[in-house]
Amino acid sequence: MALILDGKKLAQTMQAEIAAEVAQLAQQTGVRPGLAAVLVGNNSASQVYVRNKRAACQKAGLDSWLYDLPEQTTQAQLLELVQRLNADPKVHGILVQLPLPKQIDEAAIVEAVSPDKDVDGFGVSSLGFLAMGKPRFLPCTPLGIQQLLLRNNILIEGRHVVIVGRSNIVGKPLALILMQKAAGANATVTVCHSKSERLGEITKQADIVIVAIGQTHFLKADMVRPGAVVVDVGINRLPDGKLAGDVDFAAVEKVASAITPVPGGVGPMTITMLLHNTLQAARFHVNNRES
């Protein structure tokens, strides 16, 4: 039976580590990391995500502020708020929860966030630094996946990693992270997607398969090489209200050597990496203040 990669348990461990570092930074410099979360509209999933993120901030000792804006907020109003947060020295990280209402250009808002406060790691500057091999803020879900593997002593270097999904949030940045010439990376990475031919043949060649394609139970047992590690990034709601991933967990668990559950796998690690990035942003602020 496969090892269960318990993201919830690891997140608790890492958040305790972050809390200790936050307390040390505040004691030494008087600076407490601060995260501003911006929520626009009434998306119920977004409300849950933001509530969980703020609760994690509070538990780890970070300052946090919520800007809860109405559905009809204009792009100009949202840009004005982002610029105010960019200028506020108490705010070290800015999280604009996506998706945004249709009248707002998401790309414009993401780019409006100062690169020094882009703790989501979605901006062009953050992704550009990553592509150049000089990362600043790594996107939270890909970074959480890397940490989940490393903390479970799963070798990445030299292994063949197949990523199913090419989004700007997971697939593309994760490929860049794992192919870095750096500790915890140095993998051979293949990126597949919904248009890839003979996709099952490709995934079956992988030492590590990471699935983020947004289709319930997409990865079947016959698409996985026996002994491979499987990471499921998907979160899909079934007709009965339960959550399921992009991996057919019950079947694949019997083939894989290690696998993430849904829920309780990658999700808690994403929030943990947001705290990590906010702490890093506060350290950048302190270093710039002292230089």
Active site residue: 120, 207, 246, 248, which one? Answer: 120
**Facing residues of 188 across strands?**
160
CB 171 within 8 A of CB 214: no
Domains of the chain with bracketed CATH: 30-114 (3.40.50.10860), 140-267 (3.40.50.720)
Cα radius of gyration rounded to whole Å, the chain: 19
Residue 146 a catalytic site member: no
| Residue matched to tokens 């901006």 | 123
Active-site choice (53, 180, 207, 248): 53
Count of beta carbons in the 10 Å neighbourhood of residue 105: 14
Q: What is the pLDDT along the chain (291 residues), one digit of tens a residue?
A: 899 999 999 999 999 999 999 999 999 999 999 999 999 998 888 888 889 999 999 999 999 999 999 999 999 999 999 999 999 999 999 999 999 999 999 999 999 999 999 999 999 999 999 999 999 999 999 999 999 999 999 999 999 999 999 999 999 999 999 999 999 999 999 999 989 999 999 999 999 999 999 999 999 999 999 999 999 999 998 999 899 999 999 999 999 999 999 999 999 999 999 999 999 999 999 988 765
Task: Report whether 222 contacts 247 (CB < 8 A).
Answer: no
97 classed as catalytic: yes
Rounded to whole angstroms, how far apart are CA atoms 287 and 283? 6
Is 120 one of the annotated active-site residues of the chain? yes
Q: How many CB atoms lie within 10 A of CB 126?
A: 23
Spot the catalytic one: 15, 63, 97, 117: 97
Residue 39 backbone phi and psi in degrees, to 5? -120, 125
Q: State the Cα–Cα distance between residues 200 and 221, nearest whole angstrom.
A: 10
pTM of the shown model:
0.95
Virtual torsion, Cα 272, 16, 43, 194, nearest 10 deg: 30
